[in-house]
Chains A and B, each alone.
Chain A
Amino acid sequence: MIGTLDPKIPPGPLDQKWRNHQDHSRLVSPNNRRKLEIIVVGSGLAGGSAAATFGELGYRVKCFCFQDSPRRAHSIAAQGGINAAKNYQNDGDSVYRLFYDTIKGGDFRSREANVYRLAEIANNIIDQCVAQGVPFAREYSGYLANRSFGGAQVSRTFYARGQTGQQLLLGCYQALCRQVASGTVQMLPYTEMLDLVIVNGQAKGIITRNLRSGKMERHAADAVVLASGGYGNVFYLSTNARGSNVTATYRAYKRGALFANPSFTQIHPTCIPVTGDYQSKLTLMSESLRNDGRVWVPKRREDRFKPPHEIPEADRDYYLERKYPSYGNLAPRDISSRAAKEVCDEGRGVGPGGRGVYLDFADSIKRLGVETIRERYGNLFHVYKKITGEDAYKVPMRIYPAVHYTMGGLWVDYDLMTNVPGLFVIGEANFSDHGANRLGASALMQGLADGYFVIPNTLPNYLAGQMGKRPSPESPEFEQAEQSVRARLEKLLKVNGTRSTDSFHRELGLLLWDKCGMARNQQGLREALRKIPELRAEFWRDVRVPGDEEDYNQSLERAGRVADFLEFAELMCIDALERDESAGAHFREEHQTPDGEALRDDESHAAVFAWEFQGDGHPPKLHREQLHFETVHLAQRSYK
């Protein structure tokens, strides 16, 4: 039985929906705000900005992060930039164009109303960040500078060298610090959410574990906001931080929140290739490099062992420029990644193992001089040299796609509330704005839009009816949730097998990369769905988690997260199998155009697939949210 979902999109013309909605949403008066408590899980761009803003508004906020400080959240690693439709370059940009590029970039699998709101708010974000002192790049005149990113023909990306995420996060961390000092926000670092507590059908608290002491804690609140990021680490190797995990959102899923489009995962085209068995993570080389770098491989297989400078111009295949002349090296991520896989599958890949393509700066260095290139990308070239030992000013970089971002996440309505009243999800943790593929420089935009401007205006609509309804943390629902968390941790410690958690995680990652990565097919997904439960069973039979529960125990932290990945991976594959079409990053080999592009099936798949947990060992139930396109015309996505 398939249910249908109502996203509660406000009525009215697209460009007035958000304004109208704000005009008619319920508010909470300042004297009542200090009586209401909000839990925010995560302190990255979304969580940090939300917690700081709630604090500014006068609510009582508890903000949790598993890291030792909110400044460590993985938003910090975002390199390239943040989009906004300021049209400072006078190159024809507009809110509508940013909206359209984002919808098209997502291969028409996101909600018009949400994406339009995002594009509208983007300009406010730049204003806000400048006011906070984010040192964006400037022109000599003192005005803000821009650069280009994939999937757009305008220059709308604002940046702070190759460390835009760091600077935006520090801006929001500093705003958070100000609220911590003023007493509105209580910051709880080293604390991991392990369960969601639902009382009378509403999200009213969480169970956490203090990672330093190992102590379990109960936190009751009037609303819960999850901003816990993406689940790319299900693949083991990804550009995510080591600690990034699915636990908070997956625990909420097991408590009844719907998980939307879990198979939509972004494979980023420009990462440093894998080198060894024990590699612990992959490092991104910002997409901004494609502004000045040209991607190529040798035309002939036999040239792939030759040093690049010995391959003459005529023997090189600048395949992105060849296949997508109007976007060239700035083709969107899903398309660029698949193109790289394709040339490597043909045996023309370069570097160890033949899984790499060149990103070559020689032309730009000739045109702009090495100093300009150093100024634009110096830190990236430095990181590249650290990892590979090679100097990209002299030899082309070698890059290969790697798991980077997850478009899927918990299902939310227009207010960013899940189907569980009182549970809100923001940033990468929700599914809402990027459809089947996210464009570059729009993750930072979404995180900050959600945190600074959307949720502070939508949460009151819910909170207004919640005065005096906060349960006691001694209530039976909290007791039951804490007991189930304890039981699970004890079970992990008791297995006392022979294998490390990481060995299972690596095995899961390889399986998913192979069967549910850049290309998927029915047979492979079925095979993965057979193997994942076997691997999970073996994990619970043979994992060894040393140490104790009430202690600082990194092995136990990791084991809990990997146990959740081992369940979540199955949901991903079920979703990928159910989505019998290709869309954006979800490339089903059965559905492609004659020239190998993703072939959508708008007739029966222009919908969000949201999955409801039905109990361990039972298949999840599918709910569909039909996507209605009132403004844009559904088209075959072309970047040619």
Chain B
Amino acid sequence: MRKPSVPPRDPSTPLRSAQDDREPMNFKLKIWRQRDAKSRGKLVNYDIRDISPDTSFLEMLDILNEHLIRTGGEPVAFDSDCREGICGTCSLTVNGEAHGPDHPGAVCELYMRKFRDGETITVEPFRVGAFPIIKDLVVDRSSLDRIVQAGGFISARAGSAPEANSILVSKYDADLAMEAAACIGCGACAAACPNASAMLFAAAKVSHLSFLPQGAPERQRRVLKMVHVMDEQGFGNCTNTYECEAVCPAKISASFIAKLNREYARAQFRQRLGE
């Protein structure tokens, strides 16, 4: 006998509200399927029915996968982890937009109530040369780690730190640093950029650390090395299209790119002076 796929409801978990008369929704999905890095991929059509408007986009994909598993198909591979917009793992392009239509927010924070019943939704991976596709919707973003490894840190060995309040940071600078540091490292900026540039990502890290007095001794070397590795990884250049800012789930301002450019020019100038 076939077992029901969903266990009986526990009485302690809530039922849907009696006042909630919103109808379940149906969608046509076009999803990018690609066996591995070397294979050719293509968009495959799926119909999905009876989705509550309160379902998240990724939960909708979970439901599709459950169905595929039950009916002998192969589930769609996609990345996600925290599902609350902070870990930066999820990385989908929905209807051509990195993280989908509900900005600012990662695609794990996108809910089906943002779509129309019957809508056709196209789901693709982040398309960036420096993010090779691993399978279906999953891409390899280790190039972002390599940018940070190039110098996106303050070298403070455990044990060598002075008393915390001996380093004063004005609230203004601390707030600016925090705004830049909020980057979740998802790579949507590069995915949205027509040049596949990771400038917003690099700018956020360079800005965060150069606003703070702690970062000063490494300021020059940091920006030169990070920009060098960013280019080496195959990311494109910035031509100020602001697409990155528009899709950034952490609302990182493109003005940090100007900050990066200033830091870079300053560092180059000082390097030429032999400093």
**A contact set with B: CB distance below 8 Å:** 49, 52-53, 56, 67-72, 74, 76-77, 86, 88, 124, 126-133, 135-144, 160-161, 163, 166-167, 170, 173-175, 177-178, 180-181, 187, 189, 212, 241-243, 273-281, 283-284, 305, 351-356, 383, 386-387, 389, 452-453, 456, 498-500, 502-503, 506-507, 510, 513-514, 517, 538, 542, 544, 546-547, 552, 554-555
- Closest partner residue, chain B, to A143 (CB atom): B165
With A131-B160, A353-B15, A387-B109 already in contact, the answer to whether A74 and B82 are too (CB < 8 A) is: yes
With A138-B174, A143-B165, A546-B69 already in contact, the answer to whether A133 and B215 are too (CB < 8 A) is: yes
When distances are taken between beta carbons in the complex, the residues of chain B under 8 Å from A514 are 10, 12
When distances are taken between beta carbons in the complex, the residues of chain A under 8 Å from B39 are none
A237 to B182, CA, bound (A): 27
A532 to B122, CA, bound (A): 40
1/0 per residue, CB under 8 A from A, across B35-52: the answer is 010000000000000001
Q: Is B13 an interface residue (CB 8 A)?
A: yes
When distances are taken between beta carbons in the complex, the residues of chain A under 8 Å from B83 are 241-242, 280-281, 283
A386 B164 Cβ-Cβ under 8 A = no
A352 B14 Cβ-Cβ under 8 A = yes
B156 A280 Cβ-Cβ under 8 A = no
| Shortest CB distance B226–A (Å) | 11
A74 to B89, CA, bound (A): 11
With A69-B145, A142-B171 already in contact, the answer to whether A212 and B14 are too (CB < 8 A) is: no
A241 B87 Cβ-Cβ under 8 A = yes
Q: Is B169 an interface residue (CB 8 A)?
A: yes
With A180-B149, A544-B69, A552-B134 already in contact, the answer to whether A135 and B105 are too (CB < 8 A) is: no
Extra contacts, 8 of them, besides A275-B16, A278-B55 (Cβ < 8 A), are A131-B167, A132-B161, A135-B178, A280-B83, A356-B14, A499-B70, A506-B6, A538-B3
When distances are taken between beta carbons in the complex, the residues of chain B under 8 Å from A355 are 12-14
| Residue in contact with A544 in the complex, picked from B52, B70, B134, CB distance below 8 Å | B70
With A130-B161, A130-B167 already in contact, the answer to whether A274 and B13 are too (CB < 8 A) is: yes
Main secondary structure of the interface of B (DSSP, over half): loop
**B contact set with A: CB distance below 8 Å:** 2-3, 5-7, 9-10, 12-17, 19-20, 36, 52, 54-56, 58-59, 62-63, 65-66, 69-70, 72-75, 77, 79-89, 102, 105, 109, 111, 113, 134-135, 138, 140-142, 144-145, 148-165, 167-171, 174-175, 177-178, 181-182, 184-185, 208-209, 212, 214-215
A552 B36 Cβ-Cβ under 8 A = yes
When distances are taken between beta carbons in the complex, the residues of chain A under 8 Å from B65 are 500
| Residue in contact with A52 in the complex, picked from B9, B16, B134, B158, CB distance below 8 Å | B158
When distances are taken between beta carbons in the complex, the residues of chain B under 8 Å from A72 are 81-82, 87-89
When distances are taken between beta carbons in the complex, the residues of chain A under 8 Å from B164 are 86, 126-127, 129-130, 144
- Closest partner residue, chain B, to A277 (CB atom): B6
| Residue in contact with A133 in the complex, picked from B52, B54, B138, B177, CB distance below 8 Å | B177
A177 B148 Cβ-Cβ under 8 A = yes
A71 B185 Cβ-Cβ under 8 A = yes
| Shortest CB distance A24–B (Å) | 19
B163 A68 Cβ-Cβ under 8 A = no
A503 B5 Cβ-Cβ under 8 A = yes
